[in-house]
Structure 1
Amino acid sequence: MRIGQVIGKVVMSQQDPAFKAARWLVISPVDSADLSTACKKTPPLGKQPSIIAYDQLGAGMNDVVGFVEGAEATAPFDKPTPIDAITVALFDQIHYSPYPGKTA
């Protein structure tokens, strides 16, 4: 699982019927250097390329989410589904302290 911040949503006129009752979000991945401020609803923090993720949790703008990518993203579906990223957690708070002697 990776952590990211919602920075937008995707609007589409058609989608595969397997993706009913959910939406697609634009997520900016957050690295360890940004974790201490990740849940403060600040402007987007991530410096990595953004991803598009399927969301069934109801995450909103600036929310901090956990997401998985690749084969793990298809696990919630009964049938093979063409998906590469899905939200799996909606964080209220993150408390992070790097190990002593390590840099973020």
Structure 2
Amino acid sequence: MRLAWVMGRLTASRRVTNTPAGAWLICEALDAEALDNKPMHARPRTKPMAESLVVFDHLGAGEGDVIAVAESTEATNPFRPDKIVIDAYCAAILDTVNIQQ
């Protein structure tokens, strides 16, 4: 699991039949350097983002939120026993992140 910042939403004109209701989010993967307790919108981007993700969400995350992302097989666990095509899932919407080094 890793943390990501929600940059926006993705709109698709079609969906796979068994995909549950929810939203697709465009997210930026975050590392410890990016999580410096400043609001995400207050940070000027000095270099391109390292990695972006498309994340399925049915928790209601919005633009600017920091979320916990489950990937790969773990992303489908909340929907078992149904088989769905999701590679990244919003497992939590985080209020605060505290890093101690």
| Normalised-by-shorter TM-score class | 0.7 to 0.9
Secondary structure of the residue aligned to 1:37 is: coil
* 5+ residue gaps, structure 2: none
TM-score (norm. length: structure 2): 0.85
Which of residues 48, 60, 63 in structure 2 aligns to 1:61?
A: 63
Which of residues 73, 95, 99 in structure 2 aligns to 1:96?
A: 99
Following superposition, the deviation at residue 86 of structure 1 comes to 0.4
Following superposition, the deviation at residue 47 of structure 1 comes to 3.1
2:37, 2:98 within 8 Å by CA — same for their partners in 1? no
Distance 2:75 2:84 in 1: 9
Following superposition, the deviation at residue 6 of structure 1 comes to 0.3
Structure 2 counterpart of 1:73, one-letter code: A
1:43, 1:62 within 8 Å by CA — same for their partners in 2? no
Following superposition, the deviation at residue 21 of structure 1 comes to 2.0
What is the 5 A alignment of 1:32-71? Answer: 32-37=32-37, 40-42=39-41, 47-71=49-73
Residue in structure 1 matched with residue 24 of structure 2 by the alignment: 24
Q: What is the aligned residue count?
A: 97
Secondary structure of the residue aligned to 2:18 is: helix
Distance 2:99 2:87 in 1: 27
TM-score (norm. length: structure 1): 0.83
* 5+ residue gaps, structure 1: 99-104
Q: How big is the alpha-carbon RMSD for the aligned residues of Structure 1 and Structure 2?
A: 1.9
Cα deviation code 1:30-51 (max 9, x no counterpart): 001112236x242577832101
